[in-house]
Amino acid sequence: MDSTSLGLPRRITIPTATDLAGTRFGVITEFLGEACDPGVREVFNDAVAHIHSLGGVCEEVSLPSVEKGIAAYYIIAPAEASSNLARFDGVRYGHRHPGAGDIMEMYLRTRSEGFGAEVKRRIMIGTYVLSAGYYEAYYGQAQRTRTLIIQDFRRAFESFDYLISPTSPTVAFTIGERIEDPLAMYLSDLCTIPVNLAGLPGISLPAGLSRGLPVGLQLIGPHFSEQGMLDAAHALERKLAFQARPPVAEVTR
Amino acid sequence: MSTPSDESAAGAVPNDWEAVIGLEIHVQLHTKTKMFCGCPTSFGEAPNTQVCPICLGHPGTLPVTNERAVEYATRIALALDCRVTAHTIFHRKNYFYPDLPKGYQISQYDLPLGVGGHLNVELENGAIHRVGITRVHMEEDAGKLVHAGGASGRIEGADHSLVDFNRGGTPLVEIVSEPDIRTPDQARSFLTQLKNLLEHLDVSDVNMEEGSLRCDANVSVRRPGEPLGTKTELKNMNSFRFLQRGLEAEIERQMGALESGRAVEQATVHFDPSSGRVSTLRSKEEAHDYRYFPEPDLVPIQLDEAYVAAVRASLPELPAARKERFMAEYGLPAYDAGVLGSNRALGDYFEQVAGAAGDAKLAANWVMGDFSAYLNATGVEVEAAAVGPAALSDLLILLREGTLSSKMAKDVFQDMIETGKPASVVVRERGLGQISDTLALEELVKRLVLANPGPAEEFRGGREKVLGFFVGQVMKETRGQANPQLVNELLRRHLLG
């Protein structure tokens, strides 16, 4: 097992729970703000009512640092990616530009040809935020923000068994809609990224439709709460009884 | 009034200049496996046979820290009197080079394993010079480039390069000294004594030719009392002699530049032992930005007090302590104790010989004399010597009991080296061996005294010189193998008695 893995204290069994009696759910205030579509909020509020009907308790809870999650993530992840992707240098495997005159030309052409636009963007951002003179302002600050996010979650779990939010603030956007605006695209991950920065288990349940498109409900648990989280998700999933009937696209000749 | 003479040797720094030298030493640990994977660390295998997806940096692989390497690094830090960092972490040092499979080296940065130590270096003149140790940190070695198609094997003139990743991922400890060294001689003494220390710690093969001990130097010169000059980095000198000669050449180059009004530029400098000259490799003006950041694939290492105490307790006897003990326990003079105490294998050998032969001073003389001369002449390691400690002590017993004279023992030792036979066998086969058998000699002495009544009478009359005649007769009869002391004693007894 590698150094980033820990042995789980017990096995996960297939969940069978059918009610949520006495379970306390925190509704993360920050994820229901302006960025959240009214249609998404509506489906989410219906799901909260279902939780109540199963005997669960829902209360709002504020985690102020999670709003900085996207900003921190788009420094930390590109920094690591810029380093992780350095191994694609054409020396041992993968694409290599044929016929380069020297090592520098081989590196430059191999990597220019082999990576797509989003990967190059992240490599450049990551290289920048790790550079001498910028490290503290970007990478150091982002890691401190990550610590604040972890602390916010830890505090919330002192009062709640699980936290809930929409999985994404909007329903799916059309293909190509945000391709020119990566920042807007990154915002789709507003609610899920802080969970990953904190290393917490989470699950997304289809909770209903808005404008004919599915809306997800995200359930977040403390570290190593997978079993309980899956039990709660199972009970809620039965109650939501989501019928996935996506609208069939009309085919025109 | 003249200045102290130890600075006047060839290649030393003249009195109106001062050199400031700091050393960076890389030590390959002789763990069974690599720093972050299970590949063997063996040297000299066919290229790219000691590798796996982890040390080749394949996508999706993750490192796991070698616990033994951490223990060895801790030993080094403690032996150099460093403070061991309780919470130490790895960083990534990012740069592109074909011998670096991941595009970064896993190393340490602002939380190295050990900081703030020192090594007390004994100089040629016996003085102790304390050199500070800035840090001791862990990292992984890179692979090795072989430049092909050129005459020199160096990158200049080569038409392509091959990469051997066998060495990639081998555990390294980097030891960085404070700029406390002032002369090439001091640098050499420092490195020699550091090597001895590492040998005692049993953490590395410390073989400069094979690259398990490597040394770079940071060098600058200044007028005494002035602020530090611009430094250059002298790279990869792979022997003690090249370290000294490289430093001498670089110091001379810098003094020459400054004396003729030019500036020393910050650069990496290569010493070419065949020409004895130094050449600038690359300018350091566009300094590397290694984009260090904490290695996210590895967890921090907690070295608590109990762990550090356990490693400290497991440290073997180190050279300084061994020297003291050899003086106290065996009554050796300081010089002998220093020589035998600094070389682990030779010290172990000496102790075995001294114990078995029952005469420490005799053992020390032989181990430092004929035995060391044999090692130096043949390049054989102590452990592989043709004459082991038991065999040498058997020889010394024959010498001590009088069976062999010193001269004879030296001859027998040479035979033992060549034939690998025990001393007793060599002595028997060659008919050597002093006759120390009192009864046998007594018979002979009696016979000679009776056969030469005239000279015997003269001796009794007070002519001491006549004794020489009788000794000569005994030696003639025994072909020179009689124990002279015993012969004298027996002759006196029988002539006078």
Write down the mean pLDDT value for chain B: 90
Which residue in A84, A106, A115, A128 has the most chain B C-beta atoms within 10 A of its own C-beta, making it the best mutation to test that interface?
Answer: A84
Q: Do the Cβ atoms of B297 and A107 come within 8 Å?
A: no
pLDDT digits (tens, 9 = 90+) for A100-113: 988 999 999 999 99
Q: Give the closest of B62, B103, B298 to A86, CB-based.
A: B103
pLDDT digits (tens, 9 = 90+) for A139-182: 999 999 999 999 999 999 999 999 999 999 999 998 888 888 88
Give yes or no for residue B396 having a pLDDT over 60: yes
What integer is the mean pLDDT of B138-153? 86
Q: Give the closest of B65, B98, B104 to A83, CB-based.
A: B104
Three-class DSSP category at A83: helix
Using CA coordinates, name the residue in chain B closest to A129.
B291
What integer is the mean pLDDT of B400-422? 88
Which residue in B156, B160, B291 has the most chain A C-beta atoms within 10 A of its own C-beta, making it the best mutation to test that interface?
Answer: B291
Identify any residues that bridge with B222 across adjacent strands, giving them in sequence order: B18
Query: What is the model's pTM?
Result: 0.84
Contacting residues of A for B56, CB less than 8 Å apart: 92
ipTM higher than threshold 0.85: yes
- Give me the pLDDT at residue B179, please: 97
pLDDT-above-70 percentage for chain A: 96
> Taking CB atoms and an 8 Å cut-off, how many pairs form between chains A and B?
62
pLDDT digits (tens, 9 = 90+) for B2-60: 334 333 344 567 889 999 999 999 999 999 999 999 999 988 899 999 999 999 999 99
pLDDT digits (tens, 9 = 90+) for A10-41: 788 999 999 999 999 999 999 999 889 999 99
pLDDT digits (tens, 9 = 90+) for A45-92: 999 999 999 999 999 999 999 999 999 999 999 999 999 999 999 999
Q: Residue-wise over B159-194: b if at least 16 C-beta within 10 A, else e?
A: eeeebbbbbbbbbbbbbbbbbbbbbbbbbbbbbebb
Q: Give the closest of A80, A91, A130 to B163, CB-based.
A: A91
Q: Give the closest of B65, B94, B299 to A83, CB-based.
A: B94
Q: Do the Cβ atoms of B291 and A2 come within 8 Å?
A: no
On whether any CB of chain A is under 8 Å from the CB of B293, the answer is yes
On whether any CB of chain A is under 8 Å from the CB of B169, the answer is no
Cα angle value A65/A67/A68 (rounded, 5°)? 70
- Give me the pLDDT at residue B39, please: 97
Q: Do the Cβ atoms of B63 and A132 come within 8 Å?
A: no
Using CA coordinates, name the residue in chain A closest to B295.
A80
Confidence label for B197 from pLDDT (cuts 50, 70 and 90): very high
Q: Do the Cβ atoms of A92 and B57 come within 8 Å?
A: yes
**How many CA atoms does the CB half-sphere of A72 hold within 13 Å?**
23
Confidence label for B246 from pLDDT (cuts 50, 70 and 90): very high
- Terminal-to-terminal C-alpha distance of chain A: 55
pLDDT-above-90 percentage for chain B: 65
What integer is the mean pLDDT of B413-439? 81
Give yes or no for residue B436 having a pLDDT over 80: no
Distance from CA of A71 to the nearest CA of B (A): 18
pLDDT digits (tens, 9 = 90+) for A185-235: 888 999 999 999 999 999 999 999 999 899 999 999 999 999 999 999 999
pLDDT digits (tens, 9 = 90+) for A191-203: 999 999 999 999 9
Using CA coordinates, name the residue in chain A closest to B294.
A80
Q: Give the closest of B62, B289, B293 to A2, CB-based.
A: B62
